[in-house]
Amino acid sequence: MSTGKLVLVRHGETEGNVAKLLDTRVPGLPLTERGAAQAKTFGETLLAPPRVLFCSAALRARQTAGYIEAATGVAATVLDNVHEVQVGDMEGEHSQEAHAYFQRIYRAWHNGDLDERPPGGESGHEVLARFLPIIADLRKTYLTPESTGDVLLVNHGAAMRLVSRYLADVLPPFTTNNHLDNTETIELVPLPDGGWDCIRWGRFTPPFGYDVAPTPDDPMG
């Protein structure tokens, strides 16, 4: 059993987060000054440098990973297919109606209806189909029984919550109600049977039965 874990890191705050935009297309909007400070602090407060550091192709993820690289000395590598859930025709929307529509579809994915999709956007099946093989490759390469050190992947709130819900069988409504703040993490430990154990979801640790209301933050958290 590996002594390392997979640490999914949400990027720092962006201009889109502040404006509460559905901002999903690559490259997307940059970090704010606060987002840059969050990323720098995250890198500087890691207990140990990661074994490897990856990020999505989105500008916000690359910038966040750059600050972690500067703090730890571990070079960041961009990976394809780990970008945010694509919302299609709703890109750039910020109305309450658009948020509610997206959240209805997103909740359906967490409850097993992965065929739902926003107009012009991705289904839950498509998000998992592009993302999960990357996770499998990272595990095979860097989280073997002989390996040490963590794998850090800087990516996106909605995508990483969906992926973690299915990898580690963490169930809704916890997974849908508990959004992630910028630079919060979901941490997954590989198990000998090929599964994953979730040991952290943002500010929460197991068991994940917390009865909390949906977090009133930006829609992609």
Per-domain residue ranges for the chain? 6-201
pLDDT tens-digit series, residues 33-80 = 999 999 999 999 999 999 999 999 999 999 999 999 999 999 999 999
**Average pLDDT for 144-149:** 90
CATH of domain 6-201: 3.40.50.1240
- Residue-level pLDDT at 146: 86
3-state secondary structure of 87: coil
CA R_g for the chain? 16
pLDDT band at residue 193 using 50, 70 and 90 as cut-offs = very high
pLDDT band at residue 218 using 50, 70 and 90 as cut-offs = confident
Q: What is d(CA 23, CA 21) in angstroms, rounded to the nearest whole number? A: 5
pLDDT tens-digit series, residues 88-116 = 999 999 999 999 999 999 999 999 999 99
CB 4 within 8 A of CB 143: yes
Residue 135, pLDDT > 80, answer yes
- Residue-level pLDDT at 195: 96
Model's pTM, two decimal places? Answer: 0.96
- Residue-level pLDDT at 216: 58
**Average pLDDT for 7-29:** 96
pLDDT band at residue 209 using 50, 70 and 90 as cut-offs = confident
Residue 8, pLDDT > 90, answer yes
As a whole number, the mean pLDDT across the chain is 95
